[in-house]
Amino acid sequence: MVDSKCLMSERSYNKNCNVRVSSGILGLDEMLGGGFPAGHIIVVVGDAGTGKTTLALQYVIEGLTEGESAIYISIEEEKESIISTADSYGWNIEKYIKNKKFALLKLDLSDIKTTARRVKNELPELIRLFGAKRLVIDSITLFSMMFNDPIERRIRLTGLNKVIKKAGITSLYTAEIDPDNPIHSKDGIIEFSADGMLFMQQSESARDIELIMRIVKMRRIQHDRLYRPYDITEKGIVVHSGDMLYHNIGKDFEFGKE
């Protein structure tokens, strides 16, 4: 899909910014004006149970069903658990693993050095071998938490982003929220180095608990900035992009209050 605004204003800055990669979720694509910009690193930040893994799986399934190859690095859940989660939504990822279109890897955090080396050295080769167009790291928080020293953590994350940027693969990282500062990730770094940030939240009102999402940042494109409600259905995430949650025209906007 071609975004003419992006093409006219940013041509010299990012030749790929007019190329979009579908998120696999219609409403989210609408919020993005067509999908994620190709080559972007997008971090999906949210609390446990907000559907980050589901969204990540939906993103790779979209590519796989279109004949693309994809790589999914799981740091939190075992491979079997990821396969079962996908199955529960009716997505047969095992078929793509067998066809060598999908690489599902579980990284072991007990050996930091080997893990860091594998990511740095083997990932570019894996991307090349698979001809992968989509990458998921679930979760980047656990990857970064391997490094206790904040400076080393920053260096490792920057190094990882560099490797991924060089490969040109459109990537989605999941990240846990910082409980003291819920619109930020736990490590507080990744959203600054990523090209995009999607925030997912369970919002509690007196009447209900609602799932809501917002695009906080998406470099080089115009996008929706409002909180939009979504559901996790038996077919995955459905975003109600047309439903405005809060109207703040002409008055101070305080999130959570109507």
Ligand X SMILES: Nc1ncnc2c1ncn2[C@@H]1O[C@H](COP(=O)(O)OP(=O)(O)O)[C@@H](O)[C@H]1O
Token pair in block for residue 246: 């809060």
Query: CB under 6 A: which stretch of 3-11, 17-25, 42-50, 239-247 binds ligand X?
Result: 42-50
181 binds, among ligand X, Mg ion, none (CB under 5 to 8 A by kind): none
Query: CB under 6 A: which stretch of 5-13, 14-22, 30-38, 231-239 binds ligand X?
Result: 231-239
51 touches ligand X by CB under 6 A: yes
Please give the residues from 38 up to 67 whose contact with Mg ion meets the rule CB under 5 A.
52-53
22 touches ligand X by CB under 6 A: no
Paired with 237 in beta bridges are: 232
Q: Which of 24, 35, 37, 46 binds ligand X (CB under 6 A)?
A: 46
Please give the residues from 190 up to 219 whose contact with ligand X meets the rule CB under 6 A.
none
CB of 88 to ligand X, least distance (A): 3
Is the CB of residue 41 less than 8 Å from the CB of residue 173?
yes
Paired with 21 in beta bridges are: 36
CB of 233 to ligand X, least distance (A): 6
Helices within the chain (DSSP H only): 4-10, 26-32, 52-65, 79-88, 93-98, 112-117, 123-130, 140-145, 150-167, 190-193
CB of 176 to ligand X, least distance (A): 9
d(CA 45, CA 217): 12
Residue whose C-alpha is closest to residue 196's, from 161, 236, 167, 229: 161
246 binds, among Mg ion, ligand X, none (CB under 5 to 8 A by kind): none
The gap from C-alpha 201 to its chain's centroid, in whole angstroms, comes to 14
- 67 Ramachandran zone, left/alpha/beta (phi>0; psi -120 to 50): left
188 touches ligand X by CB under 6 A: no
d(CA 258, CA 48): 25
Please give the residues from 75 up to 134 whose contact with ligand X meets the rule CB under 6 A.
88-89
Site residues, Mg ion (CB under 5 A): 52-53
Provide the binding-site residues for ligand X, judged by CB under 6 A: 46, 48-54, 88-89, 232-234
